[in-house]
Amino acid sequence: MRTYKLTVSYDGSRYQGWQRQATTDNTIQFVLEWSIGKLVGYRVHVDGSGRTDAGVHARGQVVSVKLSKLYDPQEFKDSLNRYLPEDIRIVKAELVKNGFHARKSAKGKKYEYYIDCREKPDVFSRRYCYHYPEKLDIEAMRSAVEYLVGVKNFTSFTDDKDCGDPIRRITNIKIVSTGDKVRITYYGTGFLYHMVRILTGTLLEIGTGKRDASMLPVVIAAEDRSLAGFLAPARGLFLRKVYY
């Protein structure tokens, strides 16, 4: 068996998230497995670097798959893209050493969240950002970063009530404002269920003066989801890159 590493870009708008589900075929994982199966002639299983929620997008999701035949990576990529719908695209295909696993081998991830603060949402980007027509204090939001970076228990920032391992390491958060648009970039070793979206909601509440950044240590120490910010919508979130 040969192991292939696929870098995948997708528009998550019409899908029920990454993970295969018993009740629907409308997931990224299912579509990839079905399409690769059609190409190679047998059923396959693909492993993603992590699950993205329904409506979340990816520019750099990474997938590993084991195949019985040796393929030229470029030809395999081009052939597979002909089977895939137009909102899922293989950006890169690589033959890698056996033992590589998209999730288990990952060292870190980069997520981007896009916000549109203008009065009316931009016609062309409205499906790929959160329309939040408020005046944001960007410096107040940046002042919150120091409280979030590092190894911490992020129980307050997940909607997984049965999370057995809530310890995660955020290495950096960058907040960039260009006109009425804001991009928040998160770097970390891994993220919990809904974690990036809850962090985003919390930062937006700080940016609008609804909460004080200096109180974040209290929120973290409490390990209580109700004390953190709102869950920002899925459509503004992109999995940008996975590090190995």
Give the residue numbers annotated as catalytic, written as ranges: 53
Integer-rounded Cα radius of gyration of the chain: 19
How far, in Å, are 98, 138, 171, 198 from residue 115 at the CA level? 40, 12, 22, 14
**CB contact at 8 A, 198 and 228:** yes
Residues of each annotated binding site for substrate: 111
- Helix, strand, coil percentages (3-state) for the chain, rounded to 5, are 30, 30, 40
| CA 41 remoteness from chain centre | 31
**CB contact at 8 A, 169 and 186:** no
Q: List the structure tokens of 99.
A: 């033992």
Residues of each annotated binding site: 111
